[in-house]
Structure 1
Amino acid sequence: MIKNPVLTGFHPDPSIICVDDTFYIANSTFEYFPGIAISKSKDLANWETVKSPLDNLNMLNMIGNPKSGGIWAPCLSYSDGYFYLVFTDVKNWAFGPFKDAPNYIIKSKSIEGPWSDPIFINCSGFDPSLFHDDDGKKYIVNMEWDYRKQDKEQFSGILLTEVDANTLKPIKESVKIFKGSELGLVEGPHLYKRNGYYYLITAEGGTSYDHAVTVARSKNIYGPYEIHPNTHLVTSRFNKDLYIKKAGHGSLCKGMDDRWWIAFLCARPIDENGRCPLGRETSIAEIVWVDDWPYIKDGGVNPPLEFEGYGDKKEKKIFDYRFNDGNFKLDFMSLRKPAEYEILDNGVLRLFGRQSLMSNHNQNMLLRRQTDFRFEAQTCLEFKFNHFQQMAGIIYRYDELNQYMLRVAYDENIGQKCLRILCLKNGQFSMEPDFEIPVGDGKLYLKLTVKDTSGRFYYAKEDMEWIEIPYNVDVTVLSDEYADPMGFTGAFIGLSCIDMKDYSCYADFYYFKYRVLD
């Protein structure tokens, strides 16, 4: 049996397909770069990362995008020898009544790329999906955003747009085919066809604790669509005691042995306030068909804790990243644009100083998802700068307004380099503890240990005698639920270099280790 979630730590909005004998899942990445996370598996238990398709500024430029903007709900599909990806690059979403959400399509003969240049579709709403009908026609479905309305009525329905099968450009006016169930907030549409029925899978209820996957079907692609006897295929909203919560935003696929599957997002809170630092993750359930309606195999609508796939999970607890191994880039992301660094001949990562922790334009960091409730992260760095506006260190972040950085910077009053923790909690800035910690020159080792809701930073010199810094890190701050407005990402841990003086400094990092704790 395979335990859920299968993709832990910030893997929301899964779009799953099976091509030949391999499953692929595409996930949202929001403001993190490169855009769209793709994972592949032979057995649904063990997943490996595939090179991200939106990996240069010609494919994706998110400089200036707001927090939790960027890549929303990609749809991965396969037809006629091509992989297709449809995605939204959200430029504005939480500030005012409008949403600026241009939608694009790219395609490739290989999941590894190269991918075609993005083709603009529309910007009428977000969460686009591409459907390949068996008559050769292709259609886009996306939710429509109506700025004139209030609250959930702004999610005004699902639009269907026929596109040219070759150019992928729209060739007909959009038609609204579904307004959702009584739950409302309809989004995340996917279309499928089976036994003469078109099945419209949507997300409803908002992407938090009332989230759900809703199913409707029709003999005609333009409708009318009748709603599933249970309305929802999977949801956690009816049972507050479930371990896996927020179940919703799902997609279906048929496996190589004709078994059907749904991949859906979920979350696991760690405190009484329902905060989820790991963000929204990906779970899977097997689907059976009864009277031409899909149901979770084990019955009901509750997300299962486990399911029977095709293999057993092989646990890995230590990730020792060396930067002369190019594979480290599969696990690390930057913000809004490619990170600026070089790999020296000795395998050291030289990270260049750029803008502050609150910039939406040119921060420079390399970050890894937090994938476990308990972990330890460690690095070693060396630095040559001597100004208080130049700094580097280990960063533990959710977004610009909620983050911690154990940074080393020069203090002219003390006359040497010093350590201190920079804290941002919903934009309120503090420096902890209330004094600088002198560390002098030479290599400096930094470490963060997290156990569920709290964490601690440590440092060491070359004698490797770890010294704990007297400050408790509140992990729950790094969650959708704490953020204001509510966000959509999760906690990341990694490396940062900042230069608010003249962009001339750099820091050399020797390695990065992530270890899962019991």
Structure 2
Amino acid sequence: MKYLNPVVRGFYPDPSICAANGKYYMVCSSMHIFPGVPLFESTDMVNWKQIGHCLTRASQIDLYSVRSSGGVFAPTIRYNNGRFYMVTTNDSYHQNFYVYTDDIYGEWSEPVIVDQDGIDPSLYFEDDTCYFISNGNDTDGRGCIQMCQIDIETGKKLSESKFLWHGTGGRFLEAPHIYKFGEYYYLLEAEGGTEYGHMVNYSRSKNIWGPYTPYPNNPVLTNRNLGGYQIQAAGHGDILEDNDGNWWFAHLAFRQIHMWQTYHHLGREVCLVPVKWRDDGWFEIGINGTTPIEVELPDNISFEPQNFSYNKTFENLDEKLDWCYIRIPHMENYKFDKNGLELKGTDITIDDVASPTFAGIRQTEFDLDINCDVIPGAEKSGISFYMDEKHHYEVIVEKNDSGIFVYSRQTIGCIWQESKHHKINADKVTLHIKSEAMQYHFFFKDENGNDVFISDAETRYLSSEVAGGFTGTIIGLFAVNEKGDGVSRFEKLSVKHEA
């Protein structure tokens, strides 16, 4: 049996996993994108289906004016006594909190605040005790992993925060999780920054408060020495034993656009590798301590074949699961139906640290063929490839007193450029984009259905290496009205990938 990494593709970073009721559940970071914390379910650990979000209400998370890549960092999901808990950080406000639910398919609670600093929080349950773990700094200002006991009903601290381990000396100590396997407590973490130097380390102790002894062969997982390999930044993740006694590590990584082009714009994705136990109580992760694209497993492990081909349309995209928004949306400006989407623009644009009228889906593959009909009513509307408010590309249909025009606009930091404006003698425009690993190609269709070239755009300028941040490209339909109140309609959307 073989499977391919990433197993969940596109902007789904910082995975955490748990098991409950014979199935497996996973959550990922969402940063300033709403709804917050995508939630997935699986029966075989390889194939994952999104079933919801943990943060679906503005009362649960304040994203109104957070910077790009602020907001929701690094969630952890845990199951205890019939209840699911998701703990995370609103990094923009330096606030750790958790929400909970007794129905994994239903709504989650209002936030419960925990007064411990740091980010990447995790929970560990043992008997009637709940431990709260995060990164932080010790009394000398050194990065460390810290822990306290909390009352899980109220979030109140029941002990002082105590530092457990300084890690192995790599930068940006993060992603702590504690487990008890046999007689040892294992403290897992990530270091090196969530970039090309990312790595996973761990230590163990017979006492949950330490002292912790490092694994002699740390880092236990890293792709940092695989120069030119497509999958990079293997790190931040979570361990799980499945129902058949197999052990797994789900973690983030990303795909760079070319062997010699060290850029990534799809975001940090979810990879999966096996965990192997040694006789001395230490464990190994991955294939020779790395994450490959193709993972071969023993015949006793079975799963459904992966299928990465798709054609996403208005008919099969789910309004609550697949679509996302920049910060907290004004839903009165959105009207979905089975055949299309109507967007009422406002004077907020994609350049603003606010919430423009923008409905997006995550870009999950390099190679895409995208088509959409735009019936312009708003002053400007079209398709956006959005990384953040300073790094995005648009194909724009503009309606003004002189007529209807189609053109592209590329915003890269403080620089922007527009292509030639093409006048359209019709009430509807079909936009066509061909996406490749290193370039986007923008077109519109003429009256005979032929492509008319608008411009090309390099994907690397939407990458994290250029833009910074922790997100990935989102394909968005948008509308803007700087003066009026027009509504644009989008129909016949097709986002197609052939694996």
Taking structure 1 as the reference length, the TM-score comes to 0.90
Gaps of 5+ in 1: 92-99
Superposition pairs of residues 204-283 of structure 1, within 5 angstroms: 204-271=191-258, 272-283=260-271
Give the letter for the 2:238 counterpart.
S
**Counterpart in 2 of 1:303?**
291
**Counterpart in 2 of 1:446?**
431
Q: Tell me which of 464, 489, 492 is aligned to 2:474.
A: 492
1:249 positional shift: 0.5
How many residue pairs match? The answer is 490
On the 8 A contact 2:257/2:263 being kept in 1, the answer is yes
**Counterpart in 1 of 2:135?**
143
Determine helix, strand or coil for the equivalent of 1:50: strand
Q: Tell me which of 358, 363, 370 is aligned to 2:356.
A: 363
Superposition pairs of residues 402-481 of structure 1, within 5 angstroms: 402-412=391-401, 415-431=402-418, 433=419, 435-460=420-445, 463-469=448-454, 471-481=455-465
On the 8 A contact 1:15/1:74 being kept in 2, the answer is yes
The separation in 2 between residues aligned to 1:205 and 1:394, in whole angstroms, is 36
**Counterpart in 2 of 1:103?**
96
The separation in 1 between residues aligned to 2:435 and 2:110, in whole angstroms, is 41
**Counterpart in 2 of 1:50?**
51
The separation in 1 between residues aligned to 2:456 and 2:337, in whole angstroms, is 38
Determine helix, strand or coil for the equivalent of 1:110: coil
Once the two structures are superposed, what CA deviation does each residue of 1:459-492 show, in whole Å capped at 9, x if it has no partner?
Answer: 12564333221x2111111111111xx2111111
The separation in 2 between residues aligned to 1:169 and 1:250, in whole angstroms, is 27
On the 8 A contact 1:119/1:169 being kept in 2, the answer is no
**Counterpart in 2 of 1:509?**
490
1:73 positional shift: 0.4
1:118 positional shift: 0.6
The separation in 1 between residues aligned to 2:252 and 2:392, in whole angstroms, is 24
Once the two structures are superposed, what CA deviation does each residue of 1:442-471 show, in whole Å capped at 9, x if it has no partner?
Answer: 1211121112201111112564333221x2
Q: 1:345 to 1:329 in 2, by over 3 A?
A: closer
Give the letter for the 1:452 counterpart.
A
Task: Kindly report the root-mean-square deviation, in angstroms, between the aligned alpha carbons of the 2 structures.
Answer: 2.1
Q: 1:257 to 1:450 in 2, by over 3 A?
A: same
- Give the stretch that moved more between structures: 66-75 or 138-147: 138-147
1:146 positional shift: 8.3
Q: 1:78 to 1:418 in 2, by over 3 A?
A: same
**Counterpart in 2 of 1:331?**
322
1:247 positional shift: 0.6
For the pair 1:182 / 2:163, whether they are aligned, the reply is no
Q: 1:80 to 1:479 in 2, by over 3 A?
A: same
1:328 positional shift: 4.1
The separation in 2 between residues aligned to 1:147 and 1:426, in whole angstroms, is 39
Q: 1:161 to 1:462 in 2, by over 3 A?
A: farther
Gaps of 5+ in 2: none
The separation in 2 between residues aligned to 1:63 and 1:461, in whole angstroms, is 40
On the 8 A contact 2:308/2:498 being kept in 1, the answer is no
1:144 positional shift: 1.1
1:169 positional shift: 2.5
Superposition pairs of residues 19-38 of structure 1, within 5 angstroms: 19-38=20-39
Q: Tell me which of 305, 308, 321 is aligned to 1:313.
A: 305
Give the letter for the 2:292 counterpart.
P
On the 8 A contact 1:376/1:517 being kept in 2, the answer is no
**Counterpart in 2 of 1:122?**
115
Q: 1:304 to 1:346 in 2, by over 3 A?
A: closer
Q: 1:292 to 1:497 in 2, by over 3 A?
A: same
Taking structure 2 as the reference length, the TM-score comes to 0.93
Moved over 4 A (4+): 145-149
1:233 positional shift: 1.9
The separation in 2 between residues aligned to 1:358 and 1:480, in whole angstroms, is 17
On the 8 A contact 1:321/1:328 being kept in 2, the answer is no
Give the letter for the 1:122 counterpart.
D
**Counterpart in 2 of 1:112?**
105
Determine helix, strand or coil for the equivalent of 2:107: coil
1:512 positional shift: 2.1
On the 8 A contact 2:34/2:327 being kept in 1, the answer is yes
Q: 1:161 to 1:394 in 2, by over 3 A?
A: same
Determine helix, strand or coil for the equivalent of 1:162: strand
Give the letter for the 2:148 counterpart.
T
The separation in 2 between residues aligned to 1:63 and 1:261, in whole angstroms, is 37
1:346 positional shift: 7.1
Q: 1:43 to 1:410 in 2, by over 3 A?
A: same
Determine helix, strand or coil for the equivalent of 2:320: helix
On the 8 A contact 1:285/1:307 being kept in 2, the answer is no
